[in-house]
């Protein structure tokens, strides 16, 4: 009798920034998704001069990401998904990319709308995120995963609203722009506990509350969004994937390290 054949991994397409240190961006996405049993593919939307201390430069990639995406199209069939992260494309280049994505119609979609790396140079403001949303979200089906800072910038809120605004108020502009769901991260809220919210036009579900962990880590947004994508592609539903992604981040938190002892700690690779 023939031996049973292993199941074919789902393809997880990562579109985002290249952080050469691997603490965040495409390298972090690829490590996370491979550990979850997916086949990662990656297209750079931003090139950075970055290490564990800070990001000092962000530029568009030298090759048009839309052309690279077109060349990957034969692989993007069946059960697959996409994650979008840091993007330094101009509006026209981003619209070209979105047009191809709309044609490919990924079954699972998440956008991690990044304003800037945690330390160093900035990239976007709320107006830039609005333009990106206008090109991306009308195709439908997108989960958007902002933290409170990103959500407040998108909504045009002042700094005082950042930590105290109700989740529904922060999520409303994303839903109005066409998001299917908003996974609002709770790390920037006040208090000694962190709680995410999953918000759709049908209502709000508050996810598991947990004690705020000490210190800071690099690439938390990348890790959460990539983990969500991997879990969705391996069978979890939307909210279960968000809940488990947050749990996995907390489990990995104590094992973070700073290569060479320099800069902020990054998450250690998980062994599949």
Query: Cα 259 to the chain's mean position, in Å?
Result: 23
Q: Is residue 133 part of a domain?
A: yes
State how far the Cα of 58 lies from the Cα of 157, in Å rounded to an integer.
26
10-residue averages of pLDDT along the chain (272 residues) = 67 97 96 97 96 92 97 97 97 98 98 81 81 97 95 81 81 97 88 94 96 93 97 97 97 96 92 64
- Domain housing 45: 11-257
Return the pLDDT at 117.
Answer: 73
Q: What is the CATH number of the domain that holds 149?
A: 3.40.1190.20
Return the pLDDT at 160.
Answer: 58
Return the pLDDT at 129.
Answer: 94
Report the greatest alpha carbon distance in the chain.
Answer: 67
Q: Is residue 269 part of a domain?
A: no
Return the pLDDT at 7.
Answer: 81
- Residue 227's Cβ-count burial label (10 Å; 0-12, 13-18, 19+) is buried
Task: Enter the pTM of the model.
Answer: 0.95
Return the pLDDT at 165.
Answer: 82
Q: Is residue 240 part of a domain?
A: yes
Q: Is residue 272 part of a domain?
A: no
Q: Is residue 6 part of a domain?
A: no
Q: Is residue 264 part of a domain?
A: no
Q: Is residue 194 part of a domain?
A: yes
Number of domains in the chain: 1
């Amino acid at each position: 009798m023939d031996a049973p054949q292993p199941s074919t991994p789902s393809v997880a397409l990562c579109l985002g920034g290249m952080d050469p240190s691997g603490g965040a961006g495409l390298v972090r996405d690829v490590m996370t998704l491979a550990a979850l049993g997916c086949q990662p593919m990656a297209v750079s939307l931003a090139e950075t001069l970055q290490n564990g201390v800070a990001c000092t430069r962000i530029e568009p990639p030298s090759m048009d990401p839309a052309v690279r995406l077109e060349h990957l199209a034969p692989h993007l069939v069946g059960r697959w998904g996409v994650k979008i992260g840091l993007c330094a494309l101009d509006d026209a280049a981003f619209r070209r990319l979105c047009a191809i994505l709309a044609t490919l119609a990924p079954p699972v979609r998440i956008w991690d709308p990044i304003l800037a790396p945690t330390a160093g140079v900035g990239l976007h403001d709320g107006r830039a995120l609005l333009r990106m949303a206008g090109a991306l979200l009308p195709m439908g089906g997108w989960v958007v995963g902002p933290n409170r800072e990103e959500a407040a910038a998108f909504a045009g809120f002042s700094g005082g609203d950042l930590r105290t605004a109700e989740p529904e108020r922060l999520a409303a502009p994303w839903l109005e722009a066409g998001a299917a769901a908003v996974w609002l991260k709770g790390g920037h809220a006040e208090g000694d506990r962190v709680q995410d919210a999953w918000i759709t036009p049908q209502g709000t579900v508050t996810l598991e509350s947990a004690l705020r962990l000490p210190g800071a880590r690099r690439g938390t947004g990348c890790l959460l969004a990539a983990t969500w994508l991997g879990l969705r592609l391996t069978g979890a539903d939307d909210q279960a994937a968000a809940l488990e992604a947050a749990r996995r981040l907390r489990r990995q938190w104590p094992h973070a390290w700073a290569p060479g002892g320099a800069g902020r700690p990054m998450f250690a690779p998980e062994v599949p």
